[in-house]
């Protein structure tokens, strides 16, 4: 069974490369059904000798083969699976890792790529429980995903084999990882999944591997992030040691400034007008020295912001987001992060030592007051807030808003507290014509919001209230509090939530949009924003449990929370049965129709 004679290995261990998804699924299923773990390990790592192969076989078992397919929708995928005997009753789950890998590889916004995962079970030759891991990228019409599908089917970046480690412990894992590396498998990433409490270690198969699968996964149940850190360090360029790794991190500030300069020069707008233009032509367009612009373009090409073609340049999907006229433009965000927020981060040490935000230390006042003194800066800040509007896309379909829109007994009212220029309220009212809206904001912001909303179809259903958090309108049906609480410390958050609780009728709902810190310390966007809020506003990001405690202190109870794009969540809260002292109830007779 453990013969070192490679000529005896069955040829069925190599599924044929094909372009048709249904055929690829069938080939993957046949592959999974036929494999013996020891034989497959010997094919993946051709240099294994008998004793080492026996030791590996004792410690891990073949678990699944994975591939990426491109159905028009989930029902079509399930039909394809059923045709191949791969029925799966479990709900498809989002595949965050593959979505971000695809986005990075093809210079796309991850929010535009709907990648799901299904694991239909397939029995092994002796009845072992195995699976075909199916990643599915929906080919939505007009999404541009057809080119991604063509390249991915040809290159099979996401296809891999997986072996599950039996009874993993740190010593066993380090030994297995060392064996794979010793026989030419190169570390290729990995991660810890807190939802299933499992750790994944990826490898690129050695050049001599005898299967068409070029990636291999080792899966270990449990939290083995200490071993994972060693694995990930080994996966970096072999020429990059600790000093090079640190240098790469230290130069992150250069990336921020390069992107801000690209936006400030309006280079994306110039490339929109003149796609394929060369350095000299672009320098004339944006008013720059050709030599300096060439250096910047070289760096932006490395970042994937522009691409060089035929002696000229074109924008990538990433670079297009820095064009002011692009849908969901992030130009204002680049100017804010490369401008006042960048300068305030130069005082992060002061913040960590004293607790005073670096922004206040630099400018002598908090950022809300500072922006209020400069209409141009305030407008840029409001635009930068709208640049993250992609997180709002699923929110109008939240069950609370759907229920309000379909309820009998007259129009329901949605109150957006500190809603900026009305981006979120516009989306909610556009999705639900039966709803009316109220926007509460500072007077200087309200004028821009009124002009924006009045120009669209929702303007006739929206009222505007100038004020602060003490002026939360009473009697609404749904209250929105989006990206507000993270600006403040806990005591100020309690003040805001008490005003909300006092204004809310007993059956009203509160929807809070914030990034949530992971309870287990896993990497997240919220961790970066936590540092940003501390340095610039004196606020913080919080865990779901932290928000639940703040709500409870103010007579509100957490009902639940659901994920949104860009690392955000919607937290749903309602009035508690009893309000704490200091929070006044609003009686039904105090309902105010907001003049609508």
Residues 186-222: tens digit of each pLDDT: 888 888 777 678 889 999 988 888 888 889 999 999 8
Location of structure tokens 């993946």: 44
Q: How far apart are CA 588 and CA 581, in angstroms?
A: 20
Q: What b/e sequence results for 439-468 when a residue is b if at least 16 CB atoms lie within 10 Å of its CB, and e otherwise?
A: bbbeeebbebbbebbeeeebbebbbbbeee
The residue written with tokens 């930068």 in the block is 384
3 state SS of 410 = coil
∠ Cα 507 510 515 (to 5°): 160
Identify the structural domains of the chain with CATH numbers, from first to last.
6-234 (3.10.180.10), 251-338 (1.10.10.10), 389-590 (3.40.50.150)
Higher-pLDDT residue of 149 and 489 is: 489
Q: What's the pLDDT tens digit per position in 4-57?
A: 333 333 333 344 344 578 888 988 999 999 999 999 999 999 877 777 888 888
- Does residue 390 register a pLDDT over 80? no
User: Is the predicted pLDDT of residue 90 greater than 50, yes or no?
Assistant: yes
Q: State pTM to two decimals.
A: 0.60
Number of H helices, E strands in the chain: 26, 18
Predicted confidence at residue 179, as pLDDT, reads 87
Sign of the dihedral through C-alpha 314, 317, 322, 324: positive
User: Mean of the pLDDT values across residues 304-320?
Assistant: 87
DSSP β-ladder status, 129-137 and 60-69: parallel
pLDDT value at 241 more than 70: no
Cα separation of 223 and 344, whole Å? Answer: 37
Share of the chain above pLDDT 70, in %: 90
pLDDT score of 591: 31
- Give strand pairing partners of 413: 436
**Per-residue model confidence (pLDDT) at position 6:** 31
CB contact set of 387 (below 8 Å; sequence gap of 6+): 328, 329, 330, 331, 332, 333
Which bin fits 511, alpha (ψ -120 to 50), beta or left (φ > 0)? beta
Q: Is the pLDDT of residue 238 over 80?
A: no
The pLDDT of residue 579:
54
Backbone angles phi, psi at 388, to 5 degrees: -100, 20
Report the distance separating Cα 214 and Cα 325, nearest Å.
41
In 3-state terms, the chain is what percent helix, strand and coil (to 5)?
Answer: 45, 20, 35
Average pLDDT in the 301-313 region? 86
Of 351 and 189, more confident: 351
Question: How far apart (Å, rounded) are the C-alpha atoms in residues 345 and 247?
Answer: 19
Q: Write the pLDDT tens digit of every residue in 115-152.
A: 889 999 999 988 889 999 999 998 866 666 777 888 88
pLDDT tens-digit profile of 535-577? 999 999 999 999 999 999 999 999 999 888 877 899 999 998 7
Give the chain's mean pLDDT: 85
Residue 93: pLDDT band with limits 50, 70, 90: confident
pLDDT over 50 at 317, yes or no? yes
CB 230 within 8 A of CB 212: no
Q: How confident is the model at residue 256 (pLDDT cuts 50, 70, 90)?
A: very high
| Active-site residue set | 486
User: What does DSSP assign to residue 473?
Assistant: P
């Amino acid at each position: 069974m453990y013969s070192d004679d490679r000529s005896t290995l069955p040829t069925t261990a190599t599924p044929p490369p094909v372009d048709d998804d249904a055929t690829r699924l069938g080939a993957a299923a046949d592959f999974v059904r036929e494999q013996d773990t020891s034989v497959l390990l010997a094919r993946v790592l051709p240099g294994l000798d008998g004793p080492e192969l026996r030791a590996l076989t004792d410690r891990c078992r073949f678990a699944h083969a994975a591939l990426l397919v491109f159905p028009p929708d989930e029902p079509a995928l399930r039909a394809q699976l059923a045709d191949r005997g791969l029925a799966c009753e479990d709900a498809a789950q989002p595949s965050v890792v593959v979505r971000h890998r695809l986005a990075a590889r093809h210079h796309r916004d991850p929010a535009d790529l709907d990648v799901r995962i299904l694991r239909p079970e397939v029995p092994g030759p002796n009845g072992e429980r195995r699976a075909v891991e199916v990643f599915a990228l929906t080919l939505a019409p007009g999404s541009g995903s057809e080119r991604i599908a063509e390249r991915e089917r040809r290159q099979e970046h996401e296809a891999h084999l997986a072996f599950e480690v039996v009874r993993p412990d740190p010593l066993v894992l380090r030994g297995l990882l060392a064996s794979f590396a010793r026989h030419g498998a190169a570390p290729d990433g990995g991660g810890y999944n807190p939802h299933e409490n499992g750790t994944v270690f990826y490898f690129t198969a050695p050049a001599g591997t005898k299967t068409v699968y070029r990636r291999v996964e080792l899966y270990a149940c449990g939290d083995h992030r200490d071993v994972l850190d060693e694995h990930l360090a080994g996966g970096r360029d072999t020429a990059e040691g600790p000093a090079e790794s640190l240098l790469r991190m230290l130069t992150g500030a250069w990336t921020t400034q390069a992107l801000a300069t690209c936006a400030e020069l309006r280079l994306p707008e110039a490339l929109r007008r003149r796609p394929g233009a060369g350095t000299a032509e672009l320098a004339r367009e944006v008013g720059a020295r050709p030599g300096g612009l060439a250096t910047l373009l070289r760096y932006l090409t490395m970042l994937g912001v522009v691409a060089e073609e035929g002696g000229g340049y074109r924008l990538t999907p990433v670079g297009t987001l820095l064009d002011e006229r692009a849908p969901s433009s992030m130009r204002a965000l680049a100017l804010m992060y490369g401008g006042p927020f960048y300068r305030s981060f130069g005082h992060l040490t002061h913040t960590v030592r004293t607790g005073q935000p670096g922004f206040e230390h630099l400018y002598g006042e908090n950022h809300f007051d500072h922006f209020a003194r400069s209409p141009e800066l305030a407008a840029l800040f409001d635009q930068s807030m709208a640049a993250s509007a992609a997180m709002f896309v699923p929110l109008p379909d939240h069950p609370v808003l759907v229920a309000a829109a379909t309820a009998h007994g007259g129009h329901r009212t949605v109150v957006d507290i500190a809603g900026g220029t009305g981006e979120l309220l516009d989306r909610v009212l556009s999705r639900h014509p039966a709803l009316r809206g109220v926007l509460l904001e500072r007077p200087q912001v309200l004028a821009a919001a009124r002009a924006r909303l009045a120009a669209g179809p929702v303007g006739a259903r929206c009222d505007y209230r100038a004020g602060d958090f003490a002026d939360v309108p009473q009697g609404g049906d749904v209250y929105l509090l989006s990206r507000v609480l993270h600006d403040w410390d806990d005591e100020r958050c309690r003040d805001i939530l008490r005003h909300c609780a006092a204004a809310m009728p007993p059956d009203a709902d509160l929807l809070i949009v914030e990034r949530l810190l992971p309870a287990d310390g896993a990497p997240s966007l919220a961790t970066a924003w936590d540092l940003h809020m501390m340095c610039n506003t004196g606020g913080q990001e919080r865990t779901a449990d932290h928000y639940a405690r703040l709500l409870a202190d103010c007579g509100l109870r957490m009902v639940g929370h659901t994920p949104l794009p860009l690392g955000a969540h919607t937290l749903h809260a309602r009035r508690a049965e009893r309000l704490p002292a200091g929070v006044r109830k609003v009686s039904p007779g105090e309902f105010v129709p907001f003049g609508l």
